[in-house]
Amino acid sequence: GQQVMQIPQYQHVQEGEDFTTYCNSSTTLSNIQWYKQRPGGHPVFLIQLVKSGEVKKQKRLTFQFGEAKKNSSLHITATQTTDVGTYFCAGNNNDMRFGAGTRLTVKP
Amino acid sequence: NAGVTQTPKFQVLKTGQSMTLQCAQDMNHEYMSWYRQDPGMGLRLIHYSVGAGITDQGEVPNGYNVSRSTTEDFPLRLLSAAPSQTSVYFCASSQDIGGYGYTFGSGTRLTVV
């Protein structure tokens, strides 16, 4: 069945450094979604990518969908302490599979 | 709009007990689903529903039952709780299975002793 792998599992950065998490699917996806979960909270939908090679930006966050629609990345420029949390990708191939998430911690 | 409401927020069960986790949404979403979240394993799909009267199994359905008698409600039943079911459970809803973002409830933290 469909597998969605996400790396790294953990990332610790100094405030102001950049951060990237990567998501890879074993199958071609119809679309991919990204979520953020603050510590002790629930996942919150950030964005959806649908087109091959699509790039979307939300302030300091940049989301990319690979040309083959099997991988994606989330890049945060100049991290802030408010970026702390776990970032999940979710790939859709007739059902939605979540990656294991990347837990980001930011040292002030 | 309340969004997705889950109750209870916390629960402790003894092994062998049964219970129902409640989930309700007020967004008229057709798709609803239950996930469990364990450390390092992300969100794993337990059961889902694409509309009232329709349910299906996800990745980890064993030990759980669901029903969907109305669009709004999607309860999750633990038949005979086991320590392996200790987890955080999230209910989510969306307009459909994968074309729109999911709205998650605030979760139920379940401990089985």
User: What pLDDT digit, counting tens, does each position of B23-53 carry?
Assistant: 999 999 999 999 999 987 789 999 999 999 9
Q: Is residue B1 predicted with pLDDT exceeding 70?
A: no
Nearest CB among A42, A47, A92 relative to B90 is that of A42
User: Is A100–B104 a contact, with Cβ atoms under 8 angstroms apart?
Assistant: no
Q: Residue B91 — very low, low, confident or very high, per pLDDT cuts 50/70/90? A: very high
The Cα B66–Cα B69 span in angstroms is 10
Check CB contact under 8 Å for B45 and A95. Answer: yes
Kindly report, residue by residue over B65-74, the tens digit of the pLDDT: 999 999 999 9
What pLDDT shows up at residue A2?
67
**Cβ B91 vs Cβ B75: under 8 Å:** no
Token pair for B7: 């109750």
Sign of the CA dihedral running A62, B33, A29, B43: positive
Ranges of residues in chain A with a pLDDT under 50 are none
Q: Do A42 and B102 touch (CB under 8 A)?
A: no
* pLDDT > 90: percent of chain B: 90
Shortest Cα distance from A85 to chain B (angstroms)? 13
Note whether B41 and B35 are within 8 A (CB).
no
Q: What are phi and psi of A16, to 5 degrees?
A: 100, -20
| Min Cα separation A100/chain B (Å) | 4
What mean pLDDT is predicted for residues B1-29? Answer: 95
pLDDT for the residue numbered B33: 96
- Interchain contact B39–A (C-beta under 8 A): no
Gap between the Cα atoms of A22 and A9, Å rounded = 10
Which of A41, A88, A94 comes nearest B43 by C-beta?
A: A88
A99 contacts in B (CB within 8 Å)? 42
Who's near A51: CB < 8 A, 6+ residues apart?
A: A65
Chain B residue with CA closest to A88: the answer is B42
**Residue B69 CB contacts under 8 Å (≥ 6 apart), including other chains:** B52, B53
Contacting residues for A44 by C-beta, under 8 A, at least 6 apart = A35, A36, A37, A38, B104
DSSP state of B70: S
Q: What percent of chain B has pLDDT over 70?
A: 99
Helix %, strand %, coil % of chain B (to 5) = 5, 50, 45
Candidates A21, A35, A42, A47: best to mutate against B (most CBs of B within 10 A) is A42
CB B46 within 8 A of CB B38: no
pLDDT at B9: 97
**Per the CB < 8 Å rule, is A33 touching B99?**
no
C-alpha distances in angstroms, B96 versus A32, B40, B55, B89, B102? 14, 27, 13, 20, 9
Provide residues of A within 8 Å CB-CB of chain B: 6, 9, 30-31, 33, 35, 41-45, 47-48, 88, 90, 92, 94-101
Q: Which amino acid is at A97?
A: R
Angle at A32 between CA B32 and CA A62, to 5 degrees: 125
